[in-house]
Amino acid sequence: MVSSGELAYAVKIAVGLLVVPVVAVVGVIYSGRTTSQPPPAATVQPAQPAALDPLARTLAAIPEGPAGASIHRGYEIVSKTFETLPGNGGNGLHCTSCHLDGGTLAGAGPWIGLPAVFPEFRARSGKRDPLPRRINDCFERSMNGTALAPEGADMAAILDYINFISRDAPGGKPPPGRGFKRIEPPLTPDRAAGAQKYTPRCASCHGADGAGLLADGKYAFPPVWGERSFNIGAGMARLDTAAAFIRANMPRGAGGTLSDQDAYDIADFMIYQPRPDFAGKVHDWPQGGKPRDTRY
């Protein structure tokens, strides 16, 4: 038989067990009511670098501070060479006219990994050239201009940019896609056919007269012959090099759509159009072995 005290204690426990769910339910109901506090603001996620193209991701990763400022300056020089350094750039080309996508595109003269392979012996100079000498070759030949001070701030900025885009490249060996992938075996070009092929495939960007396309006083597409183009000492003035570049990268955005023969025909037509001379050519290949496809 249950005593009166035991019965009272049991009733108290039962009431307590009922109170807890009721409080929980009331709390849930109350929490759904509108209060004086505003709801938390929605978090807007910024655009992630992964959504950008490879070059944009690279530029977005440049650090802040003086080091980053030099890297940005280097990119500005290579992408707007004549506009940035009119005293050194002698024509309408930019470094990135040939070294596409900021020097990051395989098969289009990429710079990624170059700091690890220079100094490098070059048959054209007959000696081991440091990377600044290689860069100045482009200023004197491709830009038809004058060399930068090897120890100057502008050269340092270019080197800082190249080092930055090479930060993840394996060292001690040529990077993948270096230079321009040659067409093998080399073909015999038809210059007359190249003239006919140039008009529908190239003239809309580079002009019927090869003078390039200006927009707001700046070259949107570079001149490929004439006084504002590269001189005969430039790498792009060599038949095999020009054909390889055209085959892989032209028309821009549709690289690989021309045949090997098309590329050779157009290249032969293009490189033999009038262009500036290069007085320093007399010093090239001092040990012999001048390639068959040189213009001189």
- Neighbouring C-alpha atoms within 13 Å toward the C-beta of 287: 7
Residue 180's Cβ-side half-sphere holds a number of Cα atoms within 13 Å equal to 24
Distance CA 229, CA 143 (A): 7
**CA 269, chain centre distance (Å):** 28
Q: What is the pLDDT of residue 51?
A: 56
Name the amino acid, one letter, at 89: G
Number of C-alpha atoms within 13 angstroms, CB side, residue 62? Answer: 23
Domains 50-165 and 191-277 share a fold: yes
Assign 3-class secondary structure to the chain: CCCHHHHHHHHHHHHHHHHHHHHHHHHHHHHCCCCCCCCCCCCCCCCCHHHCCHHHHHHHCCCCHHHHHHHHHHHHHHHCHHHHCCCCCCCCCCHHHCCHHHHCCCCCCCCCCHHHCCCEEECCCCEEECHHHHHHHHHHCCCCCCCCCCCCHHHHHHHHHHHHHCCCCCCCCCCCCCCCCCCCCCCCCCHHHHHHHHHHHHHHHHCCCCCCEEECCEEEECCCCCCCCCCCCCHHHCHHHHHHHHHHHCCCCCCCCCCHHHHHHHHHHHHCCCCCCCHHHHHCCCCCCCCCCCCC
Q: Please tell me the predicted confidence (pLDDT) of residue 53.
A: 84
Could you say which of 3.20.20.80, 1.10.760.10, 3.40.50.1820, 3.40.50.620 is the CATH number of the domain covering 191-277?
A: 1.10.760.10
Tokens encoding 176: 């993948």
CATH architecture of the domain 50-165 equals: Orthogonal Bundle (1.10)
Consecutive sets of 10 residues in the chain, 296 residues long: mean pLDDT of each?
41 38 35 43 46 85 97 97 93 95 93 94 97 98 97 98 93 79 95 98 97 89 96 97 97 94 98 97 96 94
Supply the pLDDT for residue 238. 97
Q: Measuring CA to CA, how many Å separate 198 from each of 207, 262, 264, 267?
A: 10, 9, 11, 9
Q: What is the pLDDT of residue 131?
A: 98
Question: Is the Cβ–Cβ distance between 98 and 236 less than 8 Å?
Answer: yes
Domain boundaries of the chain, sorted by first residue:
50-165, 191-277
